[in-house]
């Protein structure tokens, strides 16, 4: 009986562990990553998350499932547009998506990789996590960091997103004196109340929210999407539009039902950028939709994505209100990370109150932070800020220069390659009337065709 139980466990583990195949011979311009597995909820998001967390670019992809089994194929490159040739990187992809079943990783490799993962997780495990949402305003982040400094909190890591007048932030702190998580209940309550007062200000009509907890386990970008979704940042104050014509990204989302097959078809077109697929799939997953089939690709700098989805209960989108909500939420997910602000990169020895001083300098020079990624490694702060002027427009170059002069040219710089085109030579205007690479209604047949001919990279 025990032998039978162990056999059943082995079969279950083998059937539910994704099989990952990485092929550098199938395509001349990209590395092909194939993932095969019994379907489980969120598996597509997990695979996409692994690839995007490694800052890999997904150039093309095919997704197919019969409801019980799925096959995903991704054509990926590194940040320079090259194929993936580093054996350690390939092993990490296999291990991260496929778990311990990866056959190409040696026992020593797997042991070393587990140690690396433990070290990565240990940093956040020893911190206190703050979740903040509220109405955004110029100088708000400066006030938040000043309050944390005054309350004896050292900011170790943080991510800040703003969208549609709202702000969401994950801030990981430790006690300035002991370097330990903040566990005292009275102090925790004081931190929550102080931050809530700052976020509320004088005119927060929706209300501010703060939460203090042990370091969260949810993926940080996914958690920011969840916080802004719960805060209803996707509501524009007017009837939903299928496209965001005022956005520089010129995003468009359409949703139609294929009644005969019981699918809803989601079509996304927008300017391509890093982690775009993650943002879309994350939102669909958290809205309780399942992707059964999909195709994605890039034409010049435009991304085209098409998904055949059903609600988790097995049905397609059932009302016009639901359809409009999906459109709104996907547009919001695309726009949250697509900040058009100037990108300032700060590398400087960490010290108490550093972030309060830096963000105050931004505020004094008329700059507002729209996004921020803050990390501290070995006593050095490595921070990235996207900034605009107080009206949400691209800031004047003189204001940028004043900030750089104040903080120090050796510590902060403007990344002109990743800032808007106003700070560099403009590229030619996008050709009008670009024809989409997808046609509604024939994705499934084409998707299965490609899955059988993955060696074709045309």
Task: Kindly report the average pLDDT of the chain as a whole number.
Answer: 83
Angstrom distances, CA of residue 427 to CA of 300, 327, 414, 424 = 12, 29, 19, 9
87, 179: one domain: no
Domain end point (choices 100, 122, 144): 122
27: CATH? 3.30.70.260
DSSP 265-305: EEEEEEE--TTHHHHHHHHHHHTTEEEEEEEEEEETTEEEE
29 and 116 in a single domain? The answer is: yes
Q: Contacts for 184-193 with beta carbons within 8 Å, 24 or more apart?
A: 187/151, 188/128, 188/212, 190/151, 191/130, 191/148, 191/151, 191/153
Residue 239 lies in a domain: no
One domain for residues 22 and 90: yes
Query: 322 with 201, same domain?
Result: no
- Give the tens place of pLDDT for each residue, 179-192: 888 888 899 999 99
Residue pair 265/257 in contact by the 8 Å Cβ criterion: yes
How large is the average pLDDT for residues 329-348? Answer: 92
Determine, yes or no, domain membership for 388: yes
SS3 70: strand
Query: Is position 106 within any domain?
Result: yes
99 is written with which tokens? 């778990």
Q: Do 324 and 384 belong to one domain?
A: no
Per-residue confidence band for 426, with pLDDT thresholds at 50, 70 and 90? very low
The reply to whether 343 and 332 lie within a common domain is no
- Evaluate whether residue 241 is within a structural domain: no
- Flag whether pLDDT at 433 surpasses 60: no
Considering the domain architecture, whether residues 32 and 86 belong to the same structural domain is answered as: yes
Residue 70 shares a structural domain with residue 182: no
Residue 457 in domain: no
Domain range spanning residue 174?
126-216+339-423
pLDDT digits (tens, 9 = 90+) for 350-386: 999 999 999 999 999 999 999 999 999 999 999 999 9
Secondary structure of residue 35 in the 3-state scheme: strand
- Strands (DSSP E) contained in 66-214 are 69-77, 128-135, 153-163, 166-175, 209-214
| pLDDT higher than threshold 70 for residue 175 | yes
pLDDT at 440 over 50: no
Q: What is the CA radius of gyration of the chain?
A: 23
Last residue of a domain, one of 122, 151, 180: 122
Phi-psi region at 139: left, alpha or beta (left = phi > 0; alpha = psi -120 to 50): left
Q: How far apart are CA 252 and CA 255, in angstroms?
A: 10
β-pair type (31-38, 128-135): unpaired
Q: Under 8 Å CB-to-CB from 26, ≥6 apart: which residues?
A: 32, 454, 455, 457
Residue-wise pLDDT for 229-271, tens only, equals 999 999 964 334 455 544 445 899 999 999 999 999 999 999 9
Query: Is 229 inside a domain boundary?
Result: no
Number of independent structural domains in the chain: 3
For the chain, what's the residue count?
458
Residues 72 and 205 in one domain: no
| Domain end among 99, 122, 145 | 122
Q: 268 and 188, same structural domain?
A: no
Looking at the structure, tell me whether residues 110 and 96 fall in a common domain: yes
Alpha helices in 365-442 (DSSP H): 397-407
In the prediction, which pLDDT does 363 show?
A: 96
Do 306 and 384 belong together in one domain? Answer: no
Residue 370 located in a structural domain: yes
Residue 235 lies in a domain: no
């Amino acid at each position: 009986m025990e032998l039978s139980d162990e056999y059943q466990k082995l079969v279950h583990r083998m059937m539910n562990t994704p099989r990952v195949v990485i092929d550098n011979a199938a395509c001349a311009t990209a590395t092909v990553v194939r993932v095969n597995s019994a379907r489980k909820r969120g598996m597509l998001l997990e695979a996409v998350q692994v690839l995007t967390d490694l800052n890999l670019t997904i150039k093309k992809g095919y997704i197919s499932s019969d409801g019980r089994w799925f096959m995903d194929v991704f054509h990926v490159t590194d940040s320079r547009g090259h194929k993936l040739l580093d054996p350690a990187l390939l092993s990490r992809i296999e291990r991260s998506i496929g778990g311990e079943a990866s056959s190409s990783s040696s026992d020593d490799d797997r042991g070393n990789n587990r140690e690396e993962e433990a070290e990565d997780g240990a940093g956040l495990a020893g911190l206190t996590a703050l979740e903040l949402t509220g109405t955004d305003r110029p100088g708000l982040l400066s006030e938040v960091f000043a309050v944390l400094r005054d309350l004896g909190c050292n900011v170790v890591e943080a991510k800040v997103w703003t969208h549609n007048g709202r702000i969401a932030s994950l801030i990981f702190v430790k006690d300035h004196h002991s370097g330990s998580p903040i566990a005292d209940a009275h102090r925790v309550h004081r931190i929550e109340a102080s931050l809530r007062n700052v976020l509320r200000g004088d005119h927060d009509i929706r209300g501010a929210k703060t939460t203090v907890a042990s370091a969260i386990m949810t993926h940080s970008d996914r958690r920011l999407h969840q916080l802004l979704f719960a805060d209803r940042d996707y509501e524009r104050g007017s009837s939903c539009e299928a496209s965001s014509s005022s956005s520089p990204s010129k995003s468009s989302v359409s949703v139609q039902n294929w009644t005969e097959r019981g699918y809803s078809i989601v079509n996304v077109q927008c300017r391509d950028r890093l982690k775009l697929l993650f943002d879309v799939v994350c939102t669909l997953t958290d809205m309780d939709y399942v992707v059964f089939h999909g195709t994605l690709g890039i034409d010049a700098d435009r991304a085209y994505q098409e998904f055949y989805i059903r609600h988790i209960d097995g049905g397609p989108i059932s009302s016009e209100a639901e359809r409009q909500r999906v459109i709104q939420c996907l547009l919001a997910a695309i726009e949250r990370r697509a900040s058009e602000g100037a990108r300032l990169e700060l590398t400087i020895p960490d010290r108490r109150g550093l972030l309060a001083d830096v963000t105050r300098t931004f505020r004094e020079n008329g700059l507002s932070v729209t996004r921020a990624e803050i990390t501290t490694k070995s006593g050095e702060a490595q921070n990235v800020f996207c900034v605009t002027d107080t009206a949400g427009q691209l800031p004047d170059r003189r204001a940028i220069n004043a900030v750089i002069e104040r903080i120090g040219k050796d510590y902060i710089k403007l990344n002109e390659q990743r800032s808007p085109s106003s700070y560099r030579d403009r590229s030619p205007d996008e050709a009008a009337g670009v024809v989409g690479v997808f046609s509604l209604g024939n994705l499934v047949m084409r998707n299965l065709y490609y899955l059988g001919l993955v060696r074709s990279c045309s």
